[in-house]
Structure 1
Amino acid sequence: MKNDPKVAIISTVKGTLEELILFINYHLNIGIDKIILFFDDPNDNCVDHIHSTYKNVHAVTCTDEYWLKRSSHRPELHTERQVINANEGITIAKELGCKWIIHIDRDELIYSSKNFKSVLEKSESDVIRLSIREAIPEIENYKNIFEPRIFKIPNPSSRKLKLAKFLGCKSVFYGDNYFKGHTRSKVAIKITSKIQKIAIHQPLEYDKKNTRFIDTKEIKLLHFDSIGFHDWYQKFSNKPENFSKKPNVKRGAHRKLLIQEFMDAQSKGIQHLHSLYKESYMISQNKIFILSLLKMAEKISINQKLFETPFI
């Protein structure tokens, strides 16, 4: 709509061109005005295609020169690079005339059953936390990571946890951890002088007295974490090296366990890795039925046309 605010998404990306195109098409089709991408690999072959195909995508190649100007060197941890890029992205978004930014990963989609921009415009808040959902893989191989349509709902009560385990869903959990990925979601941030610096999930430096926060159920963040064996393997094959380099980096206990289990299975061979993925991530239809009855999972239908190239 004419009076809707201009919104940008910011993401540090590395992956296949095919899935990046789906990510871009989807967000442009739902109404995102500008997509600001930071290519983590300075030699990424996707950059030229993105430049020549999309006028509303601002692509930044993270070369040695780029890091020298902003950090004196390329940060070793991916999360550290993301924070620098996110804040650089805000500067770019402001120059492009955007009023709001949302920092997300390449395996996440913004979803709303209504005009999400009107939700932002009507809000009196400066920071709006999206409602997180985590995609459930039912099979071992997908054409792309955005295919699943059943999602976990966060923060089930202790009563629901006990009941789900009693009804045969014990393998779905790591202790009491229901999600495999993050549960904090991401936030839409109004570009304002109140917020000086952001982190991955929230503002980092801001006017604590006057900055207004709110959670919303009207806009969801769909997280497609480790969808299919190949996506899972690609993500986790880098984690053991990072884990050994930075053992003191803050990680959830269940994330440490997942990394350790991957390392153990990897040392035993590919079949052990396939078995681990099936046991740790895939959920059968029977268990999904139980989780749905307990309102711990829901189906979200995404219009497939949203993944097609937009006419803009």
Structure 2
Amino acid sequence: MAGRYKFASSSSSSSLWSSSPSHATFTSRLLLLLTLLPFTLACFAFVLQWRGGIPDPINRWSPDPLVFPGMGSSRSTSSVVDDPVRTSRSDCVDVLGQSRSASFPYHRDWKFDYGSDLRPKICITSSTSAGLEQILPWIFYHKVIGASTFLLFVEGKAASPDVSKVLESIPGVTVIYRTKELEEQQARSRIWNETWLASFFYKPCNYELFVKQSLNMEMAIVMARDAGADWIVHLDTDELIHPAGTHEYSLRLLLSQVPGDVDMVVFPNYESSVERDDVKEPFSEVSMFKKNYDHLPKEVYFGNYKESTRGNPNYFLTYGNGKSAARIQDHLRPNGAHRWHNYMKTPK
């Protein structure tokens, strides 16, 4: 028994001894692989960085990813500290005034063009007399969320040579001036024979603006269709679309998910509440909003109505029926500045 045990023990020891070199080789190769892998990745990253690498989309548009258009300053830090009052002024005006280059100073290559291959293609039209300090951040914001075509009917400051020169240089932006020829063309418009708008004709202030916006929207439908747009939205240049409900914060994604038989999407408006009396850049300085009553429980809305209106008969100072996006199709027409309609059917 002792001999047999000794033999078995000897055989086992021999087997372990013979397998040890191969095990050691495998272990050493594994350690070498684990050592070389991160080294190889580091070398690859170094080569990419040396050759320019893959551009970060955020850095492509902004020297400071945390700064939204209109929030940054092109001046040095010392000048901002020395003269805090000037920080609220538009850098666009400074750039144009110094005649260096008529471009948007907040972002590098901000005039990016999505191209015509992305769908759905969204057109935003507006009638505006604002300056660059309002229009440029407005265009940039809506380009980021997916709009690619902008039809701007300009008057006043927006039609001045310095401002219009910048606007015309932006890909996807078409500037339409309110010339005598335009007015004559719109005077022959079908809208002048429509009863739904007749009560607004030949009246001042907002009535005149409402008619003018409707006439411009009618022309914009034809121009948007010629540009290959799938959807059209009418917005003022002090309004921003908020594509809530999409993880990518994309207006294009939101509209691509709308069923094909739906003709119009209504966006209830939220109205900003002025927080200070020295607000200069509302897009970046205002953060408080009244919710639209469509998004409030009735008991909350009516329970706080008197306190929120503070004697004003309206819950909102301007309007409460929101703005809408319309699918471009045959017989589409405006129905005022906030809605669209169709000559041949009731839009869904």
Length-normalised TM-score, structure 1: 0.60
Q: How far apart, in 2, do the equivalents of 1:4 and 1:138 lie? A: 38
The answer to whether residue 258 in structure 2 is matched with residue 133 in structure 1 is: no
Q: Which has the higher contact order (CA 8 A, sep 6+)?
A: 1
Change in Cα spacing, 1:198 to 1:161, as seen in structure 2 (3 Å) is closer
In structure 2, relative to structure 1, the CA distance for the partners of 1:29 and 1:3 (3 Å cut) is closer
Could you say if the C-alpha distance between residues 119 and 84 of structure 1 is closer, same or farther in structure 2, counting changes exceeding 3 Å? same
Residue in structure 1 matched with residue 304 of structure 2 by the alignment: 164
User: Is 1:148 matched up with 2:283?
Assistant: no
Verify: 1:47 aligned to 2:182, yes or no.
no
Note the aligned Cα RMSD (angstroms): 2.7
Residues 230-252 of structure 1: CA deviation (Å, up to 9, x unaligned): xxxxxxxxxxxxxxxxxxxxxxx
Query: Which amino acid in the other structure matches residue 317 of structure 2?
Result: K
Look up the match of 2:254: 119
Determine the C-alpha separation between the residues in 1 that align with 2:255 and 2:301: 33
Identity of aligned residues (%): 24
* 1:83–1:200 contact (8 Å) kept in structure 2: yes
Which letter maps to 1:120? L
1:133-212 matches, within 5 Å, as 133-146=270-283, 147-155=285-293, 156=296, 159-161=299-301, 163-164=303-304, 170=307, 172-174=309-311, 177-209=314-346, 211-212=347-348
Trace 1:1-312 onto structure 2 (pairs within 5 A): 4-41=119-156, 43-45=159-161, 46-52=163-169, 54-71=170-187, 77-113=208-244, 114=246, 115-124=250-259, 125-146=262-283, 147-155=285-293, 156=296, 159-161=299-301, 163-164=303-304, 170=307, 172-174=309-311, 177-209=314-346, 211-212=347-348
Greater strand share, 1 or 2?
Answer: 1
| Count of residue pairs brought into register by the alignment | 207
Residue segments in structure 1 that go unaligned for 5+ positions in a row: 213-312
Give distance in 2, aligned partners of 1:17 and 1:48: 11
Q: Deviations over 1:158-189 (max 9, x none)?
A: 53245436xxx726434563211111111110
CA deviation profile, 1:52-82 (whole Å, cap 9, x unmatched): 2x01111111111211122169976111111
AA in 1 matched with 2:324? V
User: Could you tell me which amino acid in structure 1 is paired with residue 186 of structure 2?
Assistant: R
Q: Which runs of 5+ in 2 are unaligned?
A: 1-113, 190-200
1:33: how far off?
A: 0.7
Per the alignment, do residues 63 and 161 of structure 1 end up closer, same or farther by CA in structure 2, a change over 3 Å counting? same
Displacement of 1:30 after TM fit? 1.6
Alpha-carbon distance in structure 2 between the residues aligned to 1:94 and 1:174: 45
Q: Report deviation, 1:121.
A: 1.7
Deviation at 1:150, TM superposition (A): 1.7
**CA displacement at 1:204 relative to structure 2:** 4.1
* Separation in 2, partners of 1:56, 1:187: 21
SS of match in other structure, 2:183: helix
Q: Distance in 1 between matches of 2:159 and 2:253?
A: 39
TM-score by length of 2: 0.54
Q: Distance in 2 between matches of 1:185 and 1:90?
A: 20
SS class of match (1:80): helix
Alpha-carbon offset, residue 198 of structure 1: 3.9
Judging changes above 3 Å, is the alpha-carbon distance between structure 1 residues 126 and 72 closer, same or farther for their aligned structure 2 residues? closer
SS at match of 1:183: coil
Q: Distance in 2 between matches of 1:162 and 1:120?
A: 32
Greater helix share, structure number: 2
